A and B are shown apart, each in its own frame.
Chain A
Amino acid sequence: MSAQAAPLSDDALVGAMSSLRDDFPALHQEVNGKPLVFLDSAASSQRPQTVIAAMARYESQDHANVHRGVHTLSHRATDLYEGAREKVRQFINASSTREIIFTSGTTESINLVANSFPGAPLQPGDEILITHLEHHANIVPWQLLCQRTGATLVIAPVENNGEVLAEQVISRLSSRTRMLAISAVSNALGTILPLADIIPAARSRGIFVLVDGAQAVPHSDVDVRALDADFFAFSAHKMVGPTGVGVLYGRAELLEKMPPWQAGGDMIEHVSFDGTTFNDLPYKFEAGTPNIAGVVGLGAAIDYLQSVGMQNIARYESLLLKYLEDRLLEQGDIRLIGQAPHKAAVASFIMDDVHPHDLGTIVDQFGIAVRTGHHCAMPIMDRFNVPGTARASLAFYNNRDDIDALVDALATVRSMFR
């Protein structure tokens, strides 16, 4: 399939996507005696053979430390590492590789910004605005920052259908708001947030904007310049890449002024006991030997996603989500938590009289992997007055048979509990 080809019909798209499953070795196994049905990609996606091979090739042939040696392997490792940075730049349409900082993941990316805060230090009474549906990784770093500085964490509400209304966020931007930290897509509910309406309102008031893009990057085109956020954070392992590596995109003019957060090798220009000057962007924020194999894997993941085409992925997943939600709702005893008009491929649900953990244990015996619990988003679970949900999350390597298998297993759950 080519990303550049003319748009396919729905049927042709479904046909073309069906062969991609063969690229993912982990999907071809039995779990508890049944073919694996992997519906937990929002937690972490599986990897195609090309990513596994790129990392193995690096580990077996090209490994040395980056940016340090004059020898051949160090050059090779550096070329692969910096080559991946350029792939990331293109993938999210940043203007410069200086704006692409490799981190250990979305969590570290957000912590970096919270700890190396842009602009003047926060004062008591300053405000940081988040929404009610944020992942803990986009709540707790700001809570800690507020504790250190006396700033206040302000929460924009979520509607009963799981939607976040732009006006509810914008109306909470005050003269004291210094940072808006907001998800592009909710991991727990699937809600796609109206960032195009929200971000200009914040930026025009001089408020910094950080977008938690962990759940957006695997499912749709991301263009950080069009989005116009100051910071954009995401993880490789949710976009068919490896764990332990992620990205912080930041506008260069802000990153230049921000102090380094972690200190050590690679982030310095000159060190003496009288003082230290720091390296240029992006290295100022990359202390120590990085996760080189992980970055190589991220580069290979981007190559893979681009060969499929992000628009194909987005269209296919929305067809699949519709099928998943329709099939769950036709059961009669299943309630979807989060039915925003715009959603990524996540269905969070509750089955009457069955706790999500019992449901998860039982469907696992049929080889079906769903996430159960609070999805690292306890406040939004409290908002909907549920202890947790079962969550089926889709990737482009899923198909209708996976969804039918889940629905069949839910029938067994029902029969055991009635």
Chain B
Amino acid sequence: MSVSDLQALYRDQVLAHAKDPHNFGTLDADAICADGNNPLCGDKLRVCVRHYDDILEDIRFEGSGCAISMASASMMTDLLKGLDADSSRKIIGTVIDMLGSGVDAKMPSSIMDTPIAALGAARQYPSRIKCATLAWRAVEAALNGQQQTTTE
């Protein structure tokens, strides 16, 4: 690994999301929320979703964490907002699988052209994969009606 590998992970797109996250905040009482904790790092996120019929009408997150977990959460909200339940579950599964795959595994076509692809660089840093997956585990839990999840 080298400094250029580092730059692949901490690229401008990722840092921009981390510094100025999209959809940061919470939703009111009718939303479903789940907390994601990464006890090793101290990262804590809460992801809230609100449906209208089958559509994920709004999604917000709040909390604190490293640049990777914050950027991942921010990108996630952009990607999932407005999708129906099936499509959002598919994307969540794809992203979690991608982050859990080897660093040389091919980027799935459904996320290749999204900002999420930048997070693929996290696969080079085993201790940081959990940072990247935290928000995705939390949104998965919220959609399943669970209130807590961890990436331990």
Binding site for B on A (CB under 8 A): 32-33, 353-358, 361-362, 365, 372-374, 378, 381, 387-388, 412, 416-417
CA distance A361 to B123 in the complex (A): 13
In the complex the two chains form, is A361's CB within 8 Å of B125's CB?
yes
Instruction: Identify B65's interface contact among A355, A362, A374, CB under 8 A.
Output: A355
Contacts of A373 in B (CB 8 A): 40-42
**Contacts A357-B41, A373-B40, A416-B15 known; 15 new A-B pairs at CB < 8 A:** A33-B1, A355-B65, A355-B66, A355-B67, A357-B43, A361-B125, A365-B2, A372-B41, A378-B42, A381-B42, A387-B42, A387-B44, A412-B3, A416-B10, A417-B67
How many A-B Cβ pairs are below 8 Å? 55
Contacts of A355 in B (CB 8 A): 65-67
- Closest residue to A366 on the B side, CB-wise? B3
CA distance A32 to B3 in the complex (A): 10
Binding site for A on B (CB under 8 A): 1-3, 5-7, 9-10, 15, 19, 40-44, 64-68, 125, 127-128, 131
CA distance A2 to B145 in the complex (A): 66
A-B pairs, top 3 by smallest CB distance, nearest first, are A355-B66, A357-B66, A387-B42
CA distance A381 to B64 in the complex (A): 14
CA distance A93 to B86 in the complex (A): 69
Contacts of A374 in B (CB 8 A): 42
- Closest residue to A355 on the B side, CB-wise? B66
- Closest residue to B122 on the A side, CB-wise? A361
Contacts of B7 in A (CB 8 A): 416
Instruction: Identify B64's interface contact among A362, A378, A387, A412, CB under 8 A.
Output: A387
Given contacts A357-B128, A357-B131, contact A362 B6 (CB under 8 A): yes
Instruction: Identify B3's interface contact among A357, A365, A387, A388, CB under 8 A.
Output: A365
In the complex the two chains form, is B3's CB within 8 Å of A358's CB?
no
Contacts of B19 in A (CB 8 A): 353
CA distance A374 to B39 in the complex (A): 9
